[in-house]
Amino acid sequence: MIIKFYSEARKEFFEATEYYEDQVVGLGGDFIDEVEKVLNVIGQQPASGTKITKIERRFLVSRFPYGIIYSVEEDRITIFAVMNLRRKPGYWKSRT
């Protein structure tokens, strides 16, 4: 399955990684590892995330207050947001 990131989602991912790395050296790498684990699960079991709308799903990232918002279409997974769960809910909906 192909995984495609919206540019805003990719930016969120990089910004969160930088933030955690600034807090503690190595924590940014830990964040990357946890997001990659989520992407691997989603790639193997696309329906495993919690359905939050008719087409979008959310999969929580372990150890960090983030969720991956995505949709599944035939042979492609689209990542709409790497969402900080403490941020305003639904801010990403205009991307779908």
Please list the pLDDT of the chain residue by residue as tens digits (96 residues).
899 999 999 999 999 999 999 999 999 999 999 999 999 999 999 999 999 999 999 999 999 999 999 999 989 999 999 999 987 776 666 676
- Rg of the Cα trace of the chain? 13
- CATH level 2 (architecture), domain 2-86: 2-Layer Sandwich (3.30)
Instruction: Give me the residue spans of the domains in the chain.
Output: 2-86
- Strand pairing partners for 3? 77
- The distance of Cα 4 from the centroid of its chain, to the nearest Å, equals 11
